Amino acid sequence: MADEISSASQSAPQSGVAHGTLTNVSLPGTAFHPNEFDVELSQTSLAEADELLKSTLDEAMRDAGGNRAFLALIDTLDGELALRFTAGEGWTDGIRRLRVNMHAEQGADDAGRWDALSDTPIMPRPSGTRQGITRHVVANGRRYWTGDVSADPYYIGFFTDVKSEIAVPITARGGGTIGVLNIESPEANAFNEEHANALSILARRIAVIVAMAEHQLREEALIAIGKDLNAAADIDVLMQHVVEQATKILRADDCSLFLLDEDEATLELRASHGPLGDQTGQGAARYALGEGLTGWVAQHGEAIRVGDPRTDGRWKGVFMEAPAGEIASVMAVPVRSHRGISGVLRVVRHRKGSLYFMPQEFQQADEDVLVTLAGQLAVAVDRTRLLQRLLNSERMAAWGEMSARSAHMIGNAVFGVKGHLNELTHWFNEVRNAECGVRNDPHSALRTPHSDDARLLLESITRGIYRLEGILGEFRDFVLATQLHATPHDVNQILRTVTAESFPRHSNIDLVLNLAPGLCPVMADEAKLKRAFSELIENSVDFQPQGGMLTIRTTRAESETVRELARGQIHGAALQIEFIDHGPGLSEQDRQRVFTPFYTRKAKGMGLGLSIVKGIIEAHGGAIREIGDAQTVLSSAAPNGRTAGAHFVVLLPLHEEAKPAHGDAGN
Amino acid sequence: MGKILVADDEDDVRLSLERRLTREGHSVSSAGSQAAAIACINESDTAFDVVLTDMLMESPSSGVEVLKATLARDVFTEVVVLTAYGNVANAVECMKMGAFDYVEKNIPGVDVYELICIKIEQALDRRRSSLSTVRKLEQFARFQEKREDDKAKSTPE
């Protein structure tokens, strides 16, 4: 008998609906398949549950004295009964694949109430679906046995040798029926109440095992989400991730997240699993504090679970995930950050047309899960806001220093130009005096004024004005670095253009372009990206006055590189652009400070160059690092005898799904 | 008229000042950094009459360093400090340490080059008067010494 079961479970995976193992099928009473999660769940708890369920089924068949048994559990994805485990002889994959459709007849008013049809005569159904004792037991939640199947009004047989059948419902803790334990016997009148009592005890055990496995899966999914939350830097991506996962874990049909605005008076929709998802961003769906169920939760800081939301006095139905009539239940919990309520996370379940117990009302356990998710989310939101404030204050500090420095530089430059202008005025006076025959100032003009003097002065003035413009340009680039208009671009093409434009035509520096073909486009502001690349090129050229080599190469970044250089900044695929030269390179101290504003190793300029580059790259959602040791990384490309110079690595997120050309990422 | 050192790291500024002060009849040397200025002060045959230095060169307190070096060489050399925006605090510090005056480079509506020329004339006047006072003191000291000697000689043993 045991052999039979194990061979059945081994042959199962190739069949359409896998049987005999929980790891391959959706857990009864849950809507999630382990492999639907992005994360790897440990399978040990599930394997253990499988083991227990199998042995319980064997025990049930032995105790009842039947020759065949099966355990059918409801698949919450489609609301059908599926045979999970079988014991005894004669089972074929064909039979195991049979699903019992538990949906109500079309037109049934009370669709969704499993007890609505409790004693209604069962009509024959189209082939491919089955009804019978199993369906009857699930539908009315009561155990049932028959001593003569040929005379039974419900019985539809899988096998011809069956005389007696007994079926007991498996009841979830919440009260609904989640499956059936079924034993058959070739003997007539084989089962009695005593058997039913014994099987009911085993059915309770099965319910506990299922609940336990489900609980473990939830717990693991929550831990996995917790890890994601810690790793993700982009708060919008993270929030979307949480609503998606909450929908799955809670067997909900939709989940939305509202966050309280800065003014703490309105709730703005930030992420949603279903159709409401379109109403985020500009012109997002908003609730006033206290408005509707969602507003109430934010105002009072209490969780709510509402059965039929339309009957609740607080319900407004302003922004719903589905038409109000289709919403069976709503659950909402406050997102509590350390400063107080910062938002509301809510889930909804739709009305179901299934007869069996489909989870519609949210339970306390569901609320606990949602509260946990909201807690993790609050930490992430807090952290992001803190980071934002930090970045802002850094930027404000930079602005302050920027103002002082540019005032100083502009002041000096203007003073110089004024000096030249004074001299030019003096020159004109002397010319006029000479024309009038007046003797010039004996100290300065021992010779007649010459037009060359004036030309030199004019050149100096022009130079001074250009310098002023350069300072203003740097100022402007610093301010505008983070304002992008991004469209999909081929970075290789941008690099080719930039090198053609910016790399000095007559140079003793060898330029090597090593561009990988077939790279995905990047969402980029072409002008800004060009500015960043040309700054890096100019930087490299300036530091190799005696000649040298500049290698620019593009590749698809290894995920390890992304992790190491752009931890928390880039998720998913990235394009790697490297600028490697053989100049003096950077000291460890320089490496730390090279991107900070006003730090410069060059005599000219305000020292904003690389901080502008960093601003531009980060506005593209990317990252830039100086890693040095060009020799080791470029071992194949670097000719022997060259010294290790600067090695800048730029990582830009790749957009592998074709994005619309009007995208405005980074705004 | 005077022996003057101009110290400023901005080429245009240094050139303009040098030219203008030469035109005013001064003998002008120039230095493009704090270090060069200090070297110049220490190595010149005779001390400068006036040192005109920018406040901010290698460091925000370059002017202070140049002032110290100047006074170490000749306590009567006058120092005029130039500042661009935002360095007034340091300039005041220089005043406390004995600088003649400070001049802001950017004063709206003022020809600062003219102002600098005036300050330098005033600084030269003060140096002249200081030197003449010193000379008088020296004469007085010599005179006193001589009187002491005479008194000693005339006094019988």
Please report the pLDDT score of residue B29 as a whole number. 96
* pLDDT at A400 exceeding the cut of 60: yes
**Lowest-pLDDT range of A157-166, A257-266, A397-406:** A397-406
> Higher model confidence: residue A163 or residue A352?
A163
Please report the pLDDT score of residue A375 as a whole number. 87
Among residues A147, A170, A176, the alpha carbon closest in space to that of A85 is found at A170
Output the average pLDDT for chain A. Answer: 75
Please report the pLDDT score of residue A441 as a whole number. 58
Residues from chain A that touch B105, judged by Cβ atoms under 8 A, are 411-412, 415
Structure confidence by residue, pLDDT tens digits, A621-660: 888 888 876 444 444 444 444 456 888 999 998 875 544 3
Question: Which chain A residue lies closest to B85 (C-alpha atoms)?
Answer: A408
Whole-angstrom distance, CA of residue A317 vs CA of residue A300: 19
Residues from chain A that touch B86, judged by Cβ atoms under 8 A, are 404, 407-408
Q: Determine, for residues B85 and A415 on separate chains, whether the beta-carbon distance falls below 8 Å.
A: no
Structure confidence by residue, pLDDT tens digits, A435-465: 787 665 555 444 567 788 888 889 889 988 9
Of B16, B22, B87, the CB nearest to A416: B16
Q: Determine, for residues A419 and B15 on separate chains, whether the beta-carbon distance falls below 8 Å.
A: yes
Whole-angstrom distance, CA of residue B88 vs CA of residue B103: 9
Please report the pLDDT score of residue A232 as a whole number. 61
Please report the pLDDT score of residue A107 as a whole number. 32
Q: Which residue has the tokens 């206290």?
A: A290
Question: Which chain B residue lies closest to A453 (C-alpha atoms)?
Answer: B19
Cβ–Cβ < 8 Å for A241, A228: yes
Among A412, A427, A461, most B C-beta atoms within 10 A, so best to mutate, is A412
Question: Which chain A residue lies closest to B22 (C-alpha atoms)?
Answer: A444
* pLDDT at A663 exceeding the cut of 70: no
CA angle B1, B6, B10 (to 5 degrees): 145
The one-letter code for the residue type at B91 is A
Among residues A503, A554, A489, A529, the alpha carbon closest in space to that of A612 is found at A529
Q: Determine, for residues B106 and A423 on separate chains, whether the beta-carbon distance falls below 8 Å.
A: no
Whole-angstrom distance, CA of residue A382 vs CA of residue A33: 32
Q: Determine, for residues A441 and B23 on separate chains, whether the beta-carbon distance falls below 8 Å.
A: yes
Structure confidence by residue, pLDDT tens digits, A571-609: 778 889 999 888 887 877 777 777 877 676 665 566 778
Please report the pLDDT score of residue A324 as a whole number. 74
Please report the pLDDT score of residue A632 as a whole number. 46
Whole-angstrom distance, CA of residue A209 vs CA of residue A57: 12
Q: Determine, for residues B85 and A411 on separate chains, whether the beta-carbon distance falls below 8 Å.
A: yes
Over range A283-311, report the average pLDDT: 85
Please count the CA atoms within 13 angstroms of the CA of B99 that sit on its side-chain side.
27
Structure confidence by residue, pLDDT tens digits, A529-575: 898 998 899 888 888 888 888 899 999 888 888 877 776 677 778 88
- Cα A347 vs. chain centroid, distance in angstroms? 18
**Lowest-pLDDT range of A223-227, A453-457, B124-128:** A223-227
Whole-angstrom distance, CA of residue A317 vs CA of residue A392: 38
CA angle B151, B152, B155 (to 5 degrees): 85
Element (H, E) at A533: helix A526-542
The one-letter code for the residue type at A626 is E
* pLDDT at A11 exceeding the cut of 50: no
Please report the pLDDT score of residue A666 as a whole number. 36
> Higher model confidence: residue A364 or residue B51?
B51
State the nearest Cα–Cα gap between A476 and chain B, in angstroms: 20
Which pTM does this prediction carry?
Answer: 0.49
Please report the pLDDT score of residue A541 as a whole number. 87
Whole-angstrom distance, CA of residue A488 vs CA of residue A261: 32
Among residues A322, A326, A335, the alpha carbon closest in space to that of A294 is found at A335
Structure confidence by residue, pLDDT tens digits, A231-254: 665 677 788 888 888 888 887 888
> Higher model confidence: residue A487 or residue B54?
B54
Percentage of residues of chain A with pLDDT beyond 90: 7
- DSSP-derived secondary structure letter, A523: E
The tokens describing A344, both together, are 């509301």
Q: Which residue has the tokens 């949602």?
A: A370
Q: Pick the most confident of A290-304, A350-364, A441-455, B25-39.
A: B25-39
The Cβ of residue A279 has, within 10 Å, a number of other Cβ atoms equal to: 16
- Do the interacting molecules here have an ipTM over 0.85? no
Please report the pLDDT score of residue A389 as a whole number. 74
Over range A303-315, report the average pLDDT: 84
CA distances from A142 to A70, A115, A131 (A): 17, 11, 16
Among A401, A410, A415, A453, most B C-beta atoms within 10 A, so best to mutate, is A415
Q: Determine, for residues A423 and B12 on separate chains, whether the beta-carbon distance falls below 8 Å.
A: no
Over range A32-45, report the average pLDDT: 43
Residues from chain A that touch B18, judged by Cβ atoms under 8 A, are none
Please report the pLDDT score of residue B156 as a whole number. 63
Q: Determine, for residues A419 and B20 on separate chains, whether the beta-carbon distance falls below 8 Å.
A: yes
Q: Which residue has the tokens 């003060």?
A: B126
Cβ–Cβ < 8 Å for B100, B131: no
Whole-angstrom distance, CA of residue B33 vs CA of residue B40: 10
Over range A59-83, report the average pLDDT: 81
Q: Determine, for residues A463 and B22 on separate chains, whether the beta-carbon distance falls below 8 Å.
A: no
Please report the pLDDT score of residue A641 as a whole number. 44
The Cβ of residue A432 has, within 10 Å, a number of other Cβ atoms equal to: 11
> Higher model confidence: residue A531 or residue A132?
A531
Q: Pick the most confident of A102-111, A273-282, A503-512, A639-648.
A: A503-512
Of B11, B106, B111, the CB nearest to A414: B106
Among residues A88, A103, A63, the alpha carbon closest in space to that of A158 is found at A88
- DSSP-derived secondary structure letter, A158: S
Please report the pLDDT score of residue B4 as a whole number. 97
Whole-angstrom distance, CA of residue A127 vs CA of residue A500: 71
Please report the pLDDT score of residue B87 as a whole number. 66
Q: Determine, for residues B86 and A407 on separate chains, whether the beta-carbon distance falls below 8 Å.
A: yes
